[in-house]
């Protein structure tokens, strides 16, 4: 098994777990207040979870030689595009936020600081800024992981389709 082939499986598993967790959190937040933002988050993260599951199916098919269902290659492409779009938008947002001037970050964090209950366990402005920046870094890493998984699954889908059409590969040219 090559490094890329193993990386596809590992990224698919990690993205499946993280995306499913984000879908669950977004669904729970929708119970508290229905908002279009939560629905969009569920849509994009749900697509990422489905794409990761389809990537695992592709991995298994290439490893064992069993064929994929007829709809899976098309589903992998369509849902993969949705996932890549979500990953790109997430990367752009995170990079923009991380490059923002300190005064702009403080202005964005201040409403969160005002809404929290006052008391001994309350966050300070600096702590909340660090937390939000840390979350932006984590989401940037997640978005990069989604994009790499998308690119790799599209490459391995081409390998699968090439093999399915009877093409021969020499073992290392496509992996």
Residue 42 lies in a domain: yes
Residue 48 lies in a domain: yes
The burial class, CB within 10 Å (0-12 / 13-18 / 19+), for 48 is buried
Residue 114, CB half-sphere, CA atoms under 13 Å: how many? 6
**For 56-78, what is each residue's pLDDT tens digit?**
999 999 998 888 998 999 999 99
Domain of residue 81: give its range. Answer: 3-164
Residue 174 confidence (pLDDT): 46
41-50 LR contacts (CB < 8 Å, sep 24+) = 44/82, 44/83, 44/85, 44/86, 45/19, 45/86, 46/19, 47/79, 47/82, 47/83, 47/86, 48/15, 48/19, 48/83, 48/86, 48/87, 48/146, 49/15, 49/16, 49/19, 49/20, 49/23, 50/75, 50/79
**For 132-153, what is each residue's pLDDT tens digit?**
899 999 999 999 999 999 999 9
Residue 174 lies in a domain: no
Number of domains in the chain: 1
- How far does the chain reach from its first CA to its final CA, in angstroms? 9
**For 11-56, what is each residue's pLDDT tens digit?**
999 999 999 999 999 899 888 888 888 889 899 999 999 999 999 9
Residue 175 lies in a domain: no
Residue 169 lies in a domain: no
Residue 171 lies in a domain: no
Single pTM value for the model: 0.86
Residue 28 lies in a domain: yes
Q: How far apart are CA 68 and CA 64, in angstroms?
A: 11
């Amino acid at each position: 098994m090559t490094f890329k082939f193993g990386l596809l499986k590992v990224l698919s598993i990690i993205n499946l777990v993280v995306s499913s967790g984000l879908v669950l959190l977004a669904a729970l937040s929708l119970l508290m207040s229905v908002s279009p933002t939560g629905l969009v988050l569920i849509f994009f993260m749900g697509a990422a979870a489905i794409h990761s599951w389809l990537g695992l199916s592709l991995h298994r098919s290439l490893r064992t030689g069993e064929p994929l269902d007829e709809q899976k290659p098309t589903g992998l492409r369509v849902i993969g595009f949705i996932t890549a779009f979500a990953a790109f938008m997430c990367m752009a947002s995170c990079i923009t936020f991380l490059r923002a001037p300190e005064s702009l970050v403080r202005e964005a964090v201040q409403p969160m600081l005002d809404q929290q209950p006052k008391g001994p366990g309350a966050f300070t402005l600096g702590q909340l800024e660090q937390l939000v920046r840390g979350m932006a870094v984590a989401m940037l890493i997640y978005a990069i992981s989604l994009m790499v998984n998308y690119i790799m699954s599209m490459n391995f889908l081409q390998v699968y389709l090439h093999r399915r059409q009877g093409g021969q590969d020499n073992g290392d040219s496509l992996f």
